[in-house]
Amino acid sequence: MELARHGMTLLVEPINTQTVPGFYLNNSAQALALMDEVGAANLKLQYDLFHMRMMGDDLAKTLEANLARIGHMQFADVPGRHEPGTGEIDFPRLFDLVDRLGYQGWIGAEYVPAGKTEDGLAWVKKYL
């Protein structure tokens, strides 16, 4: 891959079918199979907890089984795509798992605040 010659990593992100119908990749298994087919060491999964939970992923199991193949993570709660604590994802448990597994990359907060932006950042205080 051209990117590998320049020390760059390419990320592939599956997107759920409810938010973006018709998107090419819709689940972790498809993305991981594509990565296997390509066989490039610098091709990584961009694991969006929101999209993959919407598609039925067991987030903890997927993280445990594939952490080495994940190049970036991002999150929003399910179902509303709002901040942690507004839906069904157990973020304290998942964030603890990510720490225990030794993930060293960035984790992006990609959500729409349920109310005012400042209020939507209150969840961060638990992790400071």
For 43-91, write each residue's pLDDT tens digit. 999 999 999 999 999 999 999 999 999 999 999 999 999 999 999 999 9
Domains of the chain: 2-127 (3.20.20.150)
Write phi, then psi, for 12 (nearest 5 degrees).
-120, 130
**Residue 37 is a catalytic residue:** no
Q: How high does pLDDT run on average in the chain? A: 95
- Alpha-carbon gap, residue 65 to 105, rounded angstroms: 17
Confidence at residue 39, expressed as pLDDT on a 0 to 100 scale: 95
Q: Return the biggest CA–CA distance within the chain.
A: 45
For residue 97, what pLDDT is reported? 97
Percentage, residues of the chain above pLDDT 70: 99
- CA 19 from centroid of its chain's CA atoms: 15
pLDDT bracket for residue 128 (50, 70, 90) = confident
118 labelled catalytic = no
What pLDDT is stored for residue 126 in this prediction?
A: 84
Q: Which of 2, 13, 37, 88 is catalytic?
A: 13
Catalytic-role residue among 64, 88, 110, 118: 110
Give pLDDT, residue 1: 61
Q: In whole angstroms, what is the distance from residue 63 CA to residue 94 CA?
A: 9
Whole-model pTM: value is 0.93
